[in-house]
Amino acid sequence: VANRLKKANREQRQTRTFEEFSARSRVLEACAGRFAALAEASEDDPDSVEAKKTEYERLIASSEYAKERLAADSWCAAFFWPLDAEYARTAPTTATVRMVQASGGGMLVEDTLGEVRRIANEHRFFHWHLEFPEVFADGGFDCVLGNPPWERIKIQEKEFFASRDPAVAGARNATERNRMITALKKTNPILYGEFLAAKRSSECESLFIRTSGRFPLTGTGDVNTYTVFAEFARLAINSRGWAGIIVPTGIATDATTAPFFGDLVESGAIVSLYDIENRQKFFPIDSRFKFCLLTMAGSEVGTGTFDLALFLHTLDDLHDDDRHFTLTPEEIALINPNTKNCPIFRSKRDAEITKAVYRRVPVLIDETKGEAGNPWGVSFRQGLFNMTSDSHLFRTQEEMEDAGFTLEGNRFVKGEEVWLPLYEAKMFHQYDHRFGTFAGVESRSCTSIPTPTAEEHADTEYLAMPWYWVSEESVRERTKDSEWYIGFRDITNPTNERTGIFSVIPFSGVGHTSPLIIPSGVPNSITNLMICNLNSIAFDYIVRSKMGGTHLTYFILKQLPVLPPSTYTASLTDFIAPRVVELTYTAWDLEAFARDVLAEVGVAQWNVWFPQNPVGAGGTPRPFVWDEGRRFDLRCDLDALYFHLYDISREDVDYIMETFPIVKRKDEAAYGRYRTKEVILRKYDELAGEFVRVMRADL
């Protein structure tokens, strides 16, 4: 049915845009003057108010006005029309709308007219250019102010059933919830019908927003109402107008809103953005939620440079000059070349340090430069298994034991059949694939899992235990002969101890909250250097300026400054690579990782790097024993080096280290001083001598 209607529309139209029913509609010519006169009419006494009301009712009942309203209703109703055989013959098309514009509703089939009116009433169509024709005849509003709703268009099943059927809302996962909803056909057909109606309504609204052309920049993805209201506020002002709205800060930082924000920047339409954390409970919602005061201007008054103040908590913060900084379109393009969305700086100094880094170091993937913009040949994968849709492939320890499998290390084995651990993000940390274990955890709902002790870490046979296992066969089907992966945590936060968490993960199942980075065309030894870059404090400091929410997404990661492979000279490789390998290879389940490095560098080079842990010809490298003190020293070596590689001054290193308050607090609790900062600064000074001069000469 839909295909037949699409074909009819193609034959009936030359263009397909909302503009036919926008402010340039003929109703403006016929009614704008009368609406303007009505707006200026007196309201000084009851009689004048009554007269104004009568004139308004007469005006909206006029043939010119009614004709345009029906045309607009018909056009919008097409997106909500039931597409089945019963309704297909009466569905409005382009010809229907043009016929109404020409001669009104008298020529319409009665069923079509009735359904258009029903749909328009049910969905409360509101046509701005018809409600305010005198405004849009003058190009739009002088001022738009608002706090639009912050709601997803797509129906949220858990929320829908929360008050209607708590059992459905409380399902363990989406698969179980879908099964329970389907069962409602028999057990509660009335509720099932209400759900289908609500679901269809939200789908139609989403269809209209995404495909009508009404919202060309924000009608994408999983639409939220605040984004389309933001775009409308901008479109509704005239060339001299201003718009000020309160919306989530995601309007400037999220991937789905990047086209809109990028267009604001490039066109010079943005005036200011003031980001506020809800710590003072301006709104009765989560205190961690971030919203912003966004001001936009028309083409005649926008300047191109806009004022930013971020991470504000109070109105006093808004008036603190040190919290304000400016960004130009060129600087936005430098920092976020792919999306042109807004970085998140806490202060003017953060902005200046970050801009300086981006002028020296390219982003990981610059999509504007084609293949040349991806020197690491990086691609991404959303883990190997979706924790919801692939849940039927998972087995718990109890299920594996009931099936007759035996636990060997952290794998279950029965004959030739092997089931591998399913790694989740909470199980690893920087240079530590054994950071968290489900051993001893009784509930899957536990939000944090225990970290093995230093003694357990020092045992190279000790392995982290998962909650789920997956068959080796299913893992092999989803990998390309990979025996280890580079994973990172999707869920994170700029206020955590560390924000960018990257780790080597052994051959296993990997959940979708642990996306994988897949470099190509570079040797394993150089890949290890990239891992070091991604785990450095200098890099982490930049990551925090890009995090508007709690997800480290691909679009953020692509636009982070990562040193290209050409940076790594022989002297740098000899400094970094052995430290990365020693920090990473701490247990036998990463033997494949160590063997790949050994095969590439050779036994002689391995033994130069690791005289304390040599191998013979054809030998197997032993894991490095976990030593907290040595690991701290190695990491400080690398952090100090990357501050140099990013060409960050000592004064700025001192400042950056103070932006990691949890690291500082833990150090002071354990040692009575900020040990990490002290050691990194000392090593930074040591590296500032002959080594850095040699390194730069090599480069």
pLDDT at 698: 66
Q: Check pLDDT > 80 for residue 358.
A: yes
Instruction: Assess contact for 56 and 50: CB atoms under 8 A.
Output: no
List, in order, residues 6 or more apart from 473 with CB less than 8 Å away.
none
Q: What is the mean pLDDT of residues 378-389?
A: 90
pLDDT at 632: 97
- pLDDT confidence of 347, banded at 50, 70, 90? confident
Strand duo 417-423 + 509-510: pairing:
parallel
Q: What is the mean pLDDT of residues 652-659?
A: 96
* CA separation, residue 131 to residues 61, 65, 576 (Å): 13, 10, 66
pLDDT at 119: 94
Helices (H) and strands (E) in the chain, counts: 32, 15
Return left, alpha or beta for 304; rule: phi > 0 is left, psi -120 to 50 is alpha, else beta: left
Q: Is the dihedral of CA 242, 246, 250, 256 positive or negative?
A: negative
- How far, in Å, CA of 633 to CA of 640, rounded? 11
What's the distance, CA 537 to chain centroid?
22
**Which ranges constitute the DSSP H helices of 237-320?**
250-253, 258-267, 315-318
- How far, in Å, CA of 369 to CA of 337, rounded? 10
pLDDT at 24: 47
Summarised one tens digit per residue, pLDDT across range 523-568 is 776 788 899 999 999 999 999 988 877 888 898 999 999 999 999 9
List, in order, residues 6 or more apart from 47 with CB less than 8 Å away.
none
Summarised one tens digit per residue, pLDDT across range 24-39 is 456 666 678 888 888 8
- The single-letter DSSP state of residue 622 is P
| Residues in the chain, overall count | 699
Number of alpha carbons in the 13 Å side-chain half-sphere of residue 592: 11
- How far, in Å, CA of 578 to CA of 609, rounded? 6
- How far, in Å, CA of 622 to CA of 585, rounded? 9
The residue with tokens 């209201």 is 229
Summarised one tens digit per residue, pLDDT across range 608-640 is 999 988 987 778 899 999 999 999 999 999 999
pLDDT at 15: 57
* Burial category of 209 from C-beta neighbours within 10 Å (exposed 0-12, middle 13-18, buried 19 and up): buried
Joined tokens for residue 475: 């893992």
- How far, in Å, CA of 64 to CA of 379, rounded? 57
Q: Check pLDDT > 60 for residue 220.
A: yes
Instruction: Assess contact for 29 and 146: CB atoms under 8 A.
Output: no
pLDDT at 102: 78
Return left, alpha or beta for 212; rule: phi > 0 is left, psi -120 to 50 is alpha, else beta: alpha
Q: What is the mean pLDDT of residues 156-180?
A: 88
pLDDT at 341: 86
- pLDDT confidence of 49, banded at 50, 70, 90? very high
Question: What is the gyration radius of the CA atoms in the chain, in angstroms?
Answer: 31
Q: What is the mean pLDDT of residues 263-291?
A: 89
38-65: b or e for each residue (b if 16 or more CB lie within 10 Å)? Answer: beeeeeeeeeeeeeeeeeeeebeeeeeb
Using DSSP's 3-state secondary structure scheme, residue 510 falls into strand
- How far, in Å, CA of 178 to CA of 180, rounded? 5
- What count of other Cβ atoms lies within 10 Å of the Cβ of residue 415? 8
Number of alpha carbons in the 13 Å side-chain half-sphere of residue 670: 9
- How far, in Å, CA of 590 to CA of 504, rounded? 8
- What count of other Cβ atoms lies within 10 Å of the Cβ of residue 421? 25
The DSSP bridge partners found for residue 295 are: 244, 272
Joined tokens for residue 365: 């993937």
- pLDDT confidence of 23, banded at 50, 70, 90? very low
Q: What is the mean pLDDT of residues 643-671?
A: 96
- Residue 619 has phi, psi (to 5 degrees) of -80, 170
Instruction: Assess contact for 133 and 27: CB atoms under 8 A.
Output: yes
pLDDT at 697: 66
List, in order, residues 6 or more apart from 630 with CB less than 8 Å away.
none
Instruction: Assess contact for 219 and 22: CB atoms under 8 A.
Output: no
Of the two residues 21 and 408, the one the predictor is more confident about is 408
Joined tokens for residue 406: 């035996």
Instruction: Assess contact for 431 and 635: CB atoms under 8 A.
Output: yes
* CA separation, residue 380 to residues 375, 388, 390, 513, 555 (Å): 14, 20, 19, 13, 11
Q: Check pLDDT > 80 for residue 495.
A: no
List, in order, residues 6 or more apart from 440 with CB less than 8 Å away.
450
List, in order, residues 6 or more apart from 379 with CB less than 8 Å away.
518, 520
Instruction: Assess contact for 410 and 463: CB atoms under 8 A.
Output: yes
Summarised one tens digit per residue, pLDDT across range 288-302 is 788 999 999 999 987
Instruction: Assess contact for 159 and 170: CB atoms under 8 A.
Output: no
Q: Check pLDDT > 90 for residue 374.
A: yes
- How far, in Å, CA of 117 to CA of 122, rounded? 8
The residue with tokens 């909650």 is 467
